[in-house]
Amino acid sequence: MELARSGIDAVHAGDIGMAEAADEELLARAREDERIVVSLEADFHALLVLSNASGPSVIRIRIEGLHAEPLAALLLRVLALCESELQAGAMVSVDESNVRVRSLPLIR
What's the pLDDT band for 41 if we cut at 50, 70, 90?
A: very high
- The whole-model pTM stands at 0.94
pLDDT in tens, 63-87: 999 998 999 999 999 999 999 999 9
pLDDT in tens, 18-28: 999 999 999 99
CB 89 within 8 A of CB 58: no
Region of residue 31 (left: phi > 0; alpha: psi -120 to 50; beta: else): alpha
